[in-house]
């Protein structure tokens, strides 16, 4: 049977759209919006963004009512298990109230819900960043009031793990893989039988340094730095997530620029890449330990995975664990289409947000 799937992935100033027939992409477009419109509170953006979506569909000679299911990028919700979820009243309420945080990605599900009510399609999200499948041993820290959180590139990590399983004729639920998503933030997940049982909190800058994040820092030195500089929580968070990594060390966020500097013999640039490789490798090896050494494959993905230079620096540190596979970039739209297709075709049971 053939299904029409509309994929929505909203950013602060843009709307990414695609229409699929089953898993074949028919068309896609990125719509840009005026700043005065996108500065409005999220609920006030729903109508004009929905109109833009409807106009796009009609421009592609589709009737809006011909869409069978809308697959939206998951927003900031409470921690949930991985999978594809029906967009229900509870989810819509949490997103509208920004109960767990505010981000433009939350608009995706809100618009999908409005589309469902207007045109009759099903509406779902798949593997939002708040997917939490951590085991208790990983979650516990040495301070009673603090526990580790799972905030990572869940959509792309699970998509490439499924892709690897498909490419090798296996099921995602039957394999153990380590997935290293290397982009503006870097997250390294231990996938055991379809669950990400350990992963660093990429949103807060935990783990390896990255183009904009500091990575994990020595506790005592960080505490002294914060006190000496009389920093607020907001200032600390910005430092850790937006002013660290390449930006702090090399005054650039551009990985290609920094790699070129390394290729030209810049010792500082070379050291940064070598340190990055070591930190990613240490994070990877720790995930292998959590998996008790039973690792079927190490998978590298994200924008930095295009860098052969970085991959070659990492290989000597981790190749003893398992063979490596590289899926550079990230196919978020395809992953969202696949999540919707799995549930509408009956291959996977749809979950309920509670």
- DSSP letter assigned to residue 101: -
Q: What is the pLDDT of residue 317?
A: 98
Distance CA 14, CA 49 (A): 9
**Edge-to-edge strand list for the sheet holding 351-352:** 24-32, 14-21, 4-10, 69-73, 122-126, 84-86, 351-352
Q: Strands 69-73 and 176-182, how do they pair?
A: unpaired
CB burial of residue 200 (10 Å; 0-12, 13-18, 19+): buried
Instruction: Please report how many Cα atoms fall inside a 13 Å half-sphere around the Cα of residue 71, on the Cβ side.
Output: 31
Domain ranges (residues) in the chain? 4-131+333-352, 154-329
d(CA 54, CA 33): 15
Rounded Cα distance, 344 and 354, in Å: 21
Tell me whether strands 24-32 and 14-21 are parallel, antiparallel or unpaired: antiparallel
Q: Which H/E stretch holds residue 172?
A: none
Q: Which CATH architecture has domain 4-131+333-352?
A: 2-Layer Sandwich (3.30)
Query: Which element (helix H / strand E) includes 29?
Result: strand 24-32
- The pLDDT value given to residue 248: 97
- Determine the 3-state secondary structure of 178 from DSSP: strand
Q: According to CATH, what is the number of the domain 154-329?
A: 3.30.420.40
What is the structure's pLDDT at 35?
74
The pLDDT value given to residue 232: 98
Output the pLDDT for position 50: 87
Provide the residue-wise pLDDT of the chain in tens; the chain has 354 residues: 899 999 999 877 778 999 999 999 999 999 888 777 777 877 788 888 889 889 999 999 999 999 999 999 998 899 999 999 999 999 999 999 989 987 777 889 999 999 999 999 999 999 998 999 999 999 999 999 999 999 999 999 999 999 999 999 999 999 999 999 999 999 999 999 999 999 999 888 899 999 999 999 999 999 999 999 999 999 999 999 999 999 999 999 999 999 999 999 999 999 999 999 999 999 999 999 999 999 999 999 999 999 999 999 999 999 999 999 999 998 899 999 999 999 999 999 999 999
Would you state the pLDDT for residue 33? 80
Contact status, residue 240 vs residue 226, Cβ threshold 8 Å: no
Res 228: pLDDT: 98
SS3 state at 94: helix
d(Cα 328, Cα 50) in Å, to the nearest integer? 32
């Amino acid at each position: 049977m053939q299904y029409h799937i509309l994929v929505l992935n909203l950013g602060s100033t843009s709307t990414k759209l695609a229409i699929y027939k089953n898993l074949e992409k028919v068309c896609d477009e990125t719509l840009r919006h005026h700043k005065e419109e996108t500065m409005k509170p999220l609920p006030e953006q729903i109508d004009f963004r929905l109109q833009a979506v409807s106009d796009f569909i009609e421009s592609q000679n589709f009737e809006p009512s011909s869409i069978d299911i809308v697959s939206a990028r998951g927003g900031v919700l409470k921690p949930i298990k991985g999978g594809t979820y029906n967009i229900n009243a509870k989810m819509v309420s949490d997103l509208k109230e920004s109960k767990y945080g505010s981000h433009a990605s939350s608009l995706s599900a809100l618009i999908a819900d409005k589309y469902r009510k207007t045109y009759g399609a099903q509406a779902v999200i798949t593997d939002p960043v708040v997917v939490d499948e951590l085991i208790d041993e990983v979650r516990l820290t040495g301070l009673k009031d603090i526990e580790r959180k799972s905030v990572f590139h869940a959509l792309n990590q699970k998509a490439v793990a499924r892709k690897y399983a498909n490419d090798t004729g296996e099921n995602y639920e039957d394999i153990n893989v380590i997935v290293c998503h290397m982009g503006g933030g870097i997250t390294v997940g231990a996938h055991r039988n379809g669950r990400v049982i350990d992963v660093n909190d990429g949103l807060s800058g935990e783990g390896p340094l990255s183009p904009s994040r500091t990575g994990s820092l020595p506790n005592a030195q960080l505490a002294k730095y914060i006190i000496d500089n009389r920093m607020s929580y907001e200032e600390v968070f910005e430092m850790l997530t937006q002013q660290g990594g390449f930006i702090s060390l090399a005054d650039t966020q551009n990985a290609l620029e920094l790699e070129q500097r390394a290729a030209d013999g810049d010792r500082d640039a070379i050291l940064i890449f070598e340190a990055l490789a070591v930190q990613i490798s240490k994070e990877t090896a720790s995930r292998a330990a959590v998996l008790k050494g039973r690792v079927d494959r190490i998978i590298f993905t994200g924008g930095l995975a295009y860098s052969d230079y970085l991959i070659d620096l990492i290989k000597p540190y981790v190749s003893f664990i398992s063979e490596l596979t590289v899926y550079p970039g990230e196919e978020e739209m395809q992953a969202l289409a696949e999540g919707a297709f799995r549930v509408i075709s009956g291959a996977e049971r749809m979950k309920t947000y509670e």
